[in-house]
Structure formats: C-alpha cells, structure tokens
Structure 1
C-alpha cells in the first residue's frame, strides 16, 4: 500500500517524518507544489486551483490514501478533494482544540502561529469559535518562517532574532501553549522551545494527523503494513535540485541536527 503526502513545499515533511516513525511498514510518495510555493500570500481561488492540479498529478501514482500535510491546503481544498476521489483523505488543522483543553484549567492563553492565508479562512474561524469558549486564543501570522524553511535557513542567531521581534508585543507570561499551525514551523520547534519561558508548551498537528491516518487505514481495511518505509519524493516543477533539497530536509528531521 502507498500513502500520498502533499504540501506546497518542505513543510509536510514534518508530518511525513512522524508517519515514518509511527507507520514504518507503509510506503510513501510525497508531492511538493514547487511551482507555486509559498501559498500564504496568494488568493484562495488561485491556491485551490494549484492544489487540485497537483493532486491530479499525484493520483497518477495510484496512491491508496492521501494526507494533505498543509493546514492552508486543507482549509481551502479538502472538501473538494473528498468529493473528487474515493480514497481516504486526511487533512490538517491547527491543534487549537487540544491546546485549549490543556490550558482550560490554568488561566493561560493560547497563541496560534500560522500563515496569513490559514488564519483568514472561515474554517479556522469556525474551529476557534467552536473550541474557544473562554476567548483565550490569539493568532499570529509568521509568513517569513515558510520562506526561511524553503531556503533551509537554520542560522540560530537570525531565527532567534526573528522570533523575538515577532513575539515582542506579547506578554509571554500570559500564555501556556504555542500552537504551530503551519507544517513548516516544526522545523523550528526546538529553537522556539529554547527561547520561550519554560512554562509554555508547544504543540503541532503532526501526531494527531498520523493517528487519524492509522485509524482511517484500519477502518478502510487497507493497512497492509507490507512495505518497507520507502519514500518517493516528487515536485510539480520536476526540479531535481528541489527533490535533493527535500531529501536533505527529511534527513535533517530524522537526525535533528538542524541549527548552525
């Protein structure tokens, strides 16, 4: 059985890395939409058309299940994709619900970091409205972080200064959880953890997404677990240099030797 993963660029590799740890006996094909990365600054209609075109390419590889490893792509296109294809399709959303539940008794706030396009979507507003009864969720767009990740920019001093400038308006003593609401952002989770006060936890949606994937595979009776964890990396532009970059990023995630 082969599971497809899709993202605009490198970010979804953080989810794929989690799947390789939790479901090591499946095979994977990862597609990055390098023709249009990043999605964040683009219009919803344009991004939706890009996603549908890229998934059509990915479907030619006869995948048995699909993970939309991108919060923005999920919010914009997952409903349409489920109407178009009969295979199991798992999307992502910022881990606001578990963050709110963890903070409910502490009186602390939740800070969601995501792309501007994700934060503007009705799906995100509906999610926050549904789970944030106490009004403790704040949202902060970090569009530059996607660009840093796509450039494999892991200079510790520069990224730390970036985080400090973006977080400067916030009294971090008021917060108990930071949500990484873009799959590119976990590349910087360890660095963010170093600079945040120790009482602040960090959550992202990767673990929950992989749990839903495993449950869906069993529900559909397609969890054969006869693969060997092979990974085929593809991109919509066919750029071999970018494929090599994806391999480097996946190796970095596996080895956790990122910062310079």
Structure 2
C-alpha cells in the first residue's frame, strides 16, 4: 500500500454518500471508491449471515481495486459485520457508531431519540453503547422500517416519505426529545424534511464527520495519507442497474459521477459466489 492508493467505502445503498461527502470534504487529496449495494437494500431486515456475506464480497472487491482502507458507511453492516471484517483484513477498517454520546452531552430536555433500523437497534454493539450512556439521559429507540426504501426510490420529499417520518417522529417528540440521532446513513438525506417536521429547536445529529476524522487519523497513523498537492477522484459502483441509479446518485453527490455496474459472476454448477466478481461499465 502507498499513500496514492484509494479509500474504499460501501453501504447497503445510497446512504453512505453522506459519509463519503464528509470524507471528501476533509480529505480532498484522496481517491475514493464507493460501492452501493442497492440491489440488496435495505440491510435492516436481513439476517446477520446475509449481511456478513455481502460485506465480505464488497470488501474483497474494494481490496482488488487497491483500497488502502475500508469504511463501512452503514450502521447495520457495522453492527453485523465490522468485527468479522477486522478479523479477515489487515487494512484500516473504519465503521459507524450512532452519535448517541454527543446527543446525550448536548440535550437540554434530557431526552434523546435514536432513529435507526431494527437490526442496528438490536445489535450487541448498540446495546453496549446504550449501556454506557442510558443513565445520563432518557434514550428513546425508534426503529424506522421503510425509510431506507423511500430514499433508495429517490423520494426525499414526497407525501409517502413525509407521512412515514411523521409516524416515527411524533411519538418521540411527544415524549420530550429535543435531540435526534440519525442512526442510519440514509437518514441524513432526509434532514431537510425532518427539520420541517420537527421545527428549528430540535437538534439533529449524525456521524458522518466523526467517521471522516477517524479515517484521517487512522491513515495518518500508518503514514498513508495522500499528498496534499493533488486532487482526489471518485469512482462509483452499484449492484442495482446503473441506468436507474445514475441520475439520482449524481444529484445526491452534487456533480457528475463515474458509475459502473458491479455484478457477481456465476461459479461452476450455477451457484453464485460472493468472491467471484466482475465489472460491467455503463
């Protein structure tokens, strides 16, 4: 590995772009690789074994493309597979943690609400985090089934998304929550709509910038930060069909994207292997 190798980032879909954006903002010299596993989104209703297999497949793909570090830009994949990835690979691996600690520190009412997938809220990692902080504030857990699907469908402001969000927000706001933790990387894409529904006095937190700072720290420790006097580039893949994803991904990223189709090759006997990977350009 050299400082000129790229950073690999992945998510179950488009939500990890919120983390990728913060990495780009903090590390403008780095080349970035991003995989959106949108054909299998959401991960929140999948088994741990399934998520582990997806995470391994994507990590192998990123490493084949020279990734010097891997960022698991997905809370559900973090809870299900980050520890497994750390045992398999020696490159720096940076994962998500919901911003519960800063929320507890900043709440005025003493009530914090965590919006996340069921898989994240039920995970051992989250239970440990909750155990360290639940005596310092009342922490309300709000699973949000369906929100990831609304984002993946490109509906960030429509009536269906608004109604779904209202269903999840009204109960926690009624109990006095003045701080919301967005515990899924898809949810920051809904921040404008969340803000419209909560009003200006509710604090909304996510972990994107904290992850970016951790990436910078880990790469600095192993002397793999790219030289500052260069402009980093991005490459994007999706497991869904790129023609369907391209325009929306470009809109979320804020500029043109180089998007390719990531597909898994068939092994002998017709069985699909998560390790046999092929690349189909648009």
* TM-score of the two chains, using structure 2 as the length reference: 0.83
Residue of structure 2 equivalent to 1:212: 214
Residue of structure 1 equivalent to 2:195: 193
Residue of structure 2 equivalent to 1:255: none
What is the CA–CA distance in structure 2 between the aligned matches of 1:173 and 1:208, rounded to whole Å?
Answer: 28
Indicate whether 1:177 and 2:179 are aligned.
yes
| Deviation, structure 1 residue 243 | 5.2
For CA contacts below 8 A with separation 6 or more, give which structure has more relative contact order: 1
Change (3 A) 1:243 1:166: closer
| Deviation, structure 1 residue 229 | 2.6
SS state at 2:214 partner:
helix
Residue of structure 2 equivalent to 1:65: 69
Q: Give CA deviations for 1:154-209 in whole Å, capped at 9, x if unaligned.
A: 23444333222222333446112100000000001122112214321000000110
> Unaligned 5+ residue runs, structure 1?
253-260
Residue of structure 1 equivalent to 2:249: 246
- If you compute each CA radius of gyration, which structure gives the higher value, 1 or 2? 2
SS state at 1:129 partner:
helix
> Unaligned 5+ residue runs, structure 2?
256-282
| Deviation, structure 1 residue 13 | 0.4
Which one is further off, 208-217 or 156-165? 156-165
Match of 1:230 among 233, 239, 248: 233
Q: How many equivalent pairs are there?
A: 249
Q: Give CA deviations for 1:99-153 in whole Å, capped at 9, x if unaligned.
A: 11112xx342000000111111111111111122235111111121100110111
What is the CA–CA distance in structure 2 between the aligned matches of 1:229 and 1:33, rounded to whole Å?
Answer: 23
Change (3 A) 1:207 1:182: same
* TM-score of the two chains, using structure 1 as the length reference: 0.89
- Alpha-carbon RMSD across the aligned residues, in angstroms, is 1.8
